[in-house]
Amino acid sequence: MGTCGVHGRTVAELTACAGAELRAGDSAAEQAGNVRILGVSEVHTEVRPGDLFVALQGRHHHGASKVAEAVAAGAGAVLTDAAGARSIGRDPGVPLLVAEHPRAVLGPLASLLNGHPSHHLPVFGVTGTNGKTTTAYILEAALRRLEQHPGLVSTPETVVGTQRGPSRMTTPSAPHVQDLLARMRAAGNRSAVMEVSSHALDQERVNGVRFDTVAFTNLTHEHLDYHGDMESYFHAKARLFTPEFAARAVIVVDDDAGWRLDRLARRRGLPTVTLGTRPGAAATWHLAGVEGADEFELHGPRGPMRLRAPLPGEHNRVNTALAALMLLGAGHPLQEVARALDGPVRVPGRMERVDLGPGWPTVLVDFAHTPDATAKSVSALRARTRGRLVVTASSGGDRDTSKRELTGRAVVESGADVVVVTDDNPRSEDPAAIRAAVMRGVDAAVQRLRAAGQPIPDVVEASTRRDAIRTALELTGPQDTVALYGKGHERWMEIGPPGARVPFVDSDEVRVAARQIGPRAASPAQAGPPPGRGGSGWSAAPVAP
């Protein structure tokens, strides 16, 4: 990887940058120090001639076991840790750099080799359990309207110049991050928006990026398979909030983690502004609005701003407000920010409507795959659905198992009328076992509602997602809403061993199922089961409370 062209950097320069020790093996140290390195890679299959191969200890392998292949592919030098150096043993045939924490210096080295791209364009980083992608897209659209020509690094897509393409990861490896920023710079982007995942922070993938403004959305139950507990998860997120990474931060303080992060960031010397939606919260900015409406006001030190969220739900007002405060923090005038945020934004697979025409329910595809996201999304749709709200409940395999029951519980407690328990990406697990876990949460919540004398949803299990989609359409009419959760923008289903995928697109499946079911009568009076548990009627525009 790397785009520093034919010039590159010498091994001596990289050794100094990495704080490493240069072991020249059989070659003379001076000669080794003069070797020119053109790029950097941490995956042996991505090594290009003249690259520095950085051999890291991972969860499964030590990259040092791939040094011979990397050198055969043309690696000009190798950087590793003491354990890696021991396992390489004999002279690898190229200069060997040994550092205490090569992972920590991989990003800075990649930045150096790419001409420090983040020093030349403002980078906006968004982290938090839910809302990163949505906030990033809202911000990207606004920066475009402000003629800041943003690049984008996000879960669904990456934008370099004006080219949009699918992403493989939310936040890629350090060499890829720096390579993307360098390519953005070369392609004329004048700003960049980047989602920063907790995995990326834990694995130091954004080390070496200088962020202009970083933002925190929230911290709720997720990724405990990786982080172990919420405390470690918090500390992974908190890594981003230091003056070394960013010039300033915007922090949503609707949960305890937000307040705690604000205190921690300020103690570290990072200037912060806070955003609260709870009445009486001692935040810098407050979001005020009528429940269920997309319009809202933002009150704070620089006066009220009137804004409109481009997607429904309270959570999307927060995402919009966060984007506004990031832009204000970066120095854009208030009126311009308000204007730039006033317009449609398409966020792939987030509250995305699938238009089937008259006679059909409102169908939405949404990426809610955590308990909190599911609760927020179901509540938002409940408030806008005149008829019945039919939702899928599912969870991915080989991921946090403890969120499955909580997700099942969330759909019931947030007001769904019909819950269709089905599959997401089963990966290597037995899909029936995952559904059973989700169903336990659904059942427990139903029992609680029943005991409290409250209305309870109908519950169906569909052993394939295709069946679930068809069932949801068959059950619904034009007054109803169908929400398909979990897969959002994904264009595949992961089934079987790691990496195994079959094509599967929720919105395509909806259209196929509608065609199979056949035409629907256009009149709302003729179709659809009786009204559900409540709600005030779906509308693309906000429904009056």
Ligand X SMILES: CC(=O)N[C@H]1[C@@H](OP(=O)(O)OP(=O)(O)OC[C@H]2O[C@@H](n3ccc(=O)[nH]c3=O)[C@H](O)[C@@H]2O)O[C@H](CO)[C@@H](O)[C@@H]1O[C@H](C)C(=O)N[C@@H](C)C(=O)N[C@H](CCC(=O)O)C(=O)O
Ligand Y SMILES: N[C@H](CCC[C@H](N)C(=O)O)C(=O)O
* Number of residues near ligand ATP (by CB under 6 A): 21
Instruction: Return the biggest CA–CA distance within the chain.
Output: 86
| 162 labeled part of a ligand binding site | no
Binding of ligand Y at residue 487 (CB under 6 A)?
yes
42: partner contacted, choices ligand Y, ligand X, ligand ATP, none (Cβ within 5-8 A by kind): ligand X
Q: Please, how many CA atoms are within 13 Å of residue 145, restricted to the half-sphere of its CB?
A: 19
204, 424, 461, 506: which one binds ligand Y (CB under 6 A)? 424
Query: Which residues lie closer than 8 Å to 386 by C-beta, 6 or more apart?
Result: 479, 531, 535, 536, 537, 538
Nearer to ligand ATP, 15 or 129 (CB): 129
- Do residues 170 and 132 touch, judged by C-beta distance below 8 A? yes
Report the interhelical angle of 132-145 vs 314-329 (nearest 10°). 50
Binding of ligand X at residue 170 (CB under 6 A)?
yes
210, 286, 369, 403: which one binds ligand Y (CB under 6 A)? 369
Nearer to ligand ATP, 170 or 189 (CB): 170
Q: Please, how many CA atoms are within 13 Å of residue 344, restricted to the half-sphere of its CB?
A: 6
Q: One symbol per residue from 209 to 248: x for binding ligand ATP (CB under 6 A), - otherwise; what is it?
A: --------xx------------------------------
Start-to-end Cα distance in the chain: 54
Nearer to ligand X, 62 or 144 (CB): 62
Stretch binding ligand X (CB under 6 A), from 167-175, 280-288, 463-471, 537-545: 167-175
Query: Which residues lie closer than 8 Å to 228 by C-beta, 6 or more apart?
Result: none
Q: Give the Cβ contact number of residue 29 at 10 Å.
A: 15
Give me the phi and psi of 311, to 5 degrees please. -130, 155
Taking the complex as a whole, the smallest distance from the CB of residue 468 to ligand X amounts, in Å, to 23
Three-state DSSP string of 89-107: CCCCCCCEEECCCHHHHHH
* Strands, sheet with 362-366, edge to edge from the N-terminal-most edge strand: 352-354, 362-366, 481-485, 389-393, 418-421, 458-461
Nearer to ligand Y, 53 or 504 (CB): 504
3-state secondary structure of 336: helix
Q: One symbol per residue from 11 to 50: x for binding ligand X (CB under 6 A), - otherwise; what is it?
A: -------------------------------xxx------
Judging by DSSP bridges, how do beta strands 295-299 and 305-308 pair with one another? antiparallel
20, 77, 200, 328: which one binds ligand X (CB under 6 A)? 200
Interface positions with ligand Y (CB under 6 A): 369, 396, 399, 424-425, 486-487, 490
Annotated binding site: 128-134, 170-171, 197, 203, 205, 399, 424-427, 486, 490
Interface positions with ligand X (CB under 6 A): 42-44, 56, 58-61, 63, 66, 169-171, 173, 197, 199-200, 226
Interface positions with ligand ATP (CB under 6 A): 130-134, 155, 170, 195, 217-218, 315, 318-319, 350, 366-368, 372-373, 376-377
Annotated binding site for meso-2,6-diaminopimelate: 399, 424-427, 486, 490
